[in-house]
Structure 1
Amino acid sequence: MILVAPDSFKGTFSAAEVADAVAVGVESSGVGADRCPVADGGEGTLDVVVRARPGGRMADVACHDPLGRPVTGAIGWTDDGATAIVEMAQASGLGLVAPALRDAERASTYGTGELIVAAAAAGARRIVVTVGGSATSDGGRGAIAAVRAAGGLGAAELAVACDVETPFEDAARVFGPQKGADPAAVARLTAALHEQAAALPRDPRGVAMTGAAGGLAGGLWAALGAELLPGAAWVLDAIGFDARLRSASAVVTGEGCLDEQTLQGKIIGEVARRCRAARLPLHAVVGTSRLDGAAVAALGLASVAEATDPPAMTAAGRALGLGVAAR
């Protein structure tokens, strides 16, 4: 059996769509496939985790987008309603703002705070905020304001699943340009993050992962006592990846672009680490590969196939299945 565990091809295919296309190819070769979509804590994590957890469900909540416009965001519920999953991209994601309207200095995480408040009000004992794909660089200022306006979160515990290791003070420099910030805006945003950090109950500067989602992770950590979690590892644990790994003879993962960021806390790196520990071969089906042979080998990939659409993904899956069947 091959464990099919891809991330989404961002902007084109969801993780579930990629997993299904590859698995169809694997199964056409006569080899079984376990569809196991994965994510790293960023956009798409909510769907991946809720699909995999027994009794997982979604609930829609009215909130506001990065520019303050009304939208509807989903909250995921697992563990019989004890755990709520808030994907910040549902309210504060870059995909909610047209390219011409992107404004990193104006964009706010207030809507994410509204989702967090709604989860606490609905009785969540633990709230996990998955961050990544944000339009914001406000250091979580908006989300903190929304939570404080609601009188806090009561007894609910807060955690943040982070998709990068960037510290708080570097959030605007590293991610601001992709959110519409020019060099002058990046400088202003960075100065604002330093000013905010100095005023928070604890200083998030220099702490790994606090820069995730434009500093949202650091703001929640510093102001609300949130626990910071490596997103990729948290997702794999949440979907029971290790138990499913024990039933596999090989694994295939994937993402839209295999590049240097893959090596920096992204999901394929974590999948590769677990496959090495389990002594299982790991293959990749990706939209584009920008890693050389040495980097591919260092990551632990037995093979890399490029596929830009479902038919090509299915063909790659069939080739992998035939290879496994021949051994």
Structure 2
Amino acid sequence: MASHLEVIFMPLADGGEGTLDALGGANRSSQVTGPLGDRVEAKWRFSSRQAVIEMAQASGLLLAGGSEGNDPLLASSAGTGELIAEARASGARRIVIGVGGSASTDGGLGAIRAMEPLVRFSGVELIVACDVQTRFLDAAPVFGPQKGATSAQIELLRRRLSRLAEIYLNEFGVEVRDIPRAGAAGGLGGGLAAVGAQLVDGFGLIAEEIQLADAISEADLVITGEGRLDEESFNGKVVGGVALMADRYQVPVVAVVGSTTPGTTIPKNLTTYSLTEIFGRDLAFNDTQRCLTQIAPQLLT
């Protein structure tokens, strides 16, 4: 790397996996109930009365063995609720929950039960960092397939969510079906909203926490990346958020991606490098570091 260059590294996330690292990294670990009922070790962060929890650590799809190992009807968000409860017991007054990568479609019921009694959260700020705008009842049809749900199971899960929405309305006076982002993480967003949580744009929250705008405004070039670039990359995800923010300051952006879906609309201020197109799929997937090392000089010209 040229000695005259000043490079600033800033971990980023959009509310999904990586949120914990972007907000300082884990400094605590707890045994909680995994998505399918087994015990798992979940990392989280607690500092200055703020807790950061990543749902994937406690109720993630990977913990259930991916879509093939998951039981979509059984998978629960209970472990995430247990982490929230532990954060409160530790003295947290502000709890940020990143909700990507979930195994469950339980509408947050498992988490709420684990958080009871809810009165102890009076005066506690619950913030749910979301990476999607999905509505509560759409959580099953939109995300069910990637969690291993069949067509019949998706319909059953949707009916469950519909009944649960009525329960939340009757018990908490909150109509979760009308709340944007309530379908995040299999409806966990809606469940937590029912008990007073704020549902916010995950990228925006993290960008503000790490003062990303200040860094971009002083930069000559911004480099970001993603595994697969597609239209969804510009709908609340990191690459789209970085490109939009950089455009405000007229700073060029380079995105190094694993692959690009044909037909994806690319913003004018964004230059993309697809590793699979440049190096081939095998090398891009099996020796990514080598590919990045070879391509690095091109990014700075």
Scaled by the length of structure 2, the TM-score of the pair is 0.90
1:255 equivalent in alignment to 2:197: no
**Identity level (%):** 41
Contact 2:217/2:251 (CA < 8 Å) preserved in 1?
no
Deviation at 1:151, TM superposition (A): 5.6
Q: How does 1:104-253 map to 2 (within 5 A)?
A: 104-149=72-117, 152-200=120-168, 201=172, 202-222=174-194, 224-253=195-224
Deviation at 1:237, TM superposition (A): 1.1
One of 36, 46, 55 as aligned partner of 2:10: 36
Q: Which residue of 1 aligns with 2:266?
A: 296
One of 45, 48, 63 as aligned partner of 2:19: 45
The gaps in structure 2 that reach 5 residues or longer are 277-283
2:199 counterpart letter in structure 1: L
Alpha-carbon distance in structure 2 between the residues aligned to 1:301 and 1:257: 15
Deviation at 1:72, TM superposition (A): 1.3
1:91 equivalent in alignment to 2:61: no
Q: Give the number of equivalent residue pairs.
A: 286
Answer with 94-103 or 84-93: which moved more. 94-103
Scaled by the length of structure 1, the TM-score of the pair is 0.83
Contact 1:169/1:206 (CA < 8 Å) preserved in 2?
no
Contact 1:117/1:150 (CA < 8 Å) preserved in 2?
no
Contact 1:92/1:136 (CA < 8 Å) preserved in 2?
yes
Alpha-carbon distance in structure 2 between the residues aligned to 1:255 and 1:29: 27
Q: RMSD over aligned Cα, in angstroms?
A: 1.7
Q: How does 1:257-296 map to 2 (within 5 A)?
A: 257-292=228-263, 295-296=265-266
Alpha-carbon distance in structure 2 between the residues aligned to 1:275 and 1:151: 43
Deviation at 1:149, TM superposition (A): 4.8
Alpha-carbon distance in structure 1 between the residues aligned to 2:267 and 2:58: 38
Q: 1:72 to 1:174 in 2, by over 3 A?
A: same
Q: Which residue of 2 aligns with 1:315?
A: 294
The gaps in structure 1 that reach 5 residues or longer are 1-26, 52-56
* 1:157-198 Cα distance to aligned partner (Å, 9 max, x none): 111000101010100000001111000000000000010001
* 1:29-51 Cα distance to aligned partner (Å, 9 max, x none): 85332111211100111012115
Deviation at 1:154, TM superposition (A): 4.3
* 1:128-161 Cα distance to aligned partner (Å, 9 max, x none): 1111100000000000000115764243211100
Deviation at 1:261, TM superposition (A): 1.4
Contact 1:260/1:291 (CA < 8 Å) preserved in 2?
no
Alpha-carbon distance in structure 2 between the residues aligned to 1:123 and 1:142: 22
Q: RCO higher in 1 or 2 (8 Å CA, sep ≥ 6)?
A: 1
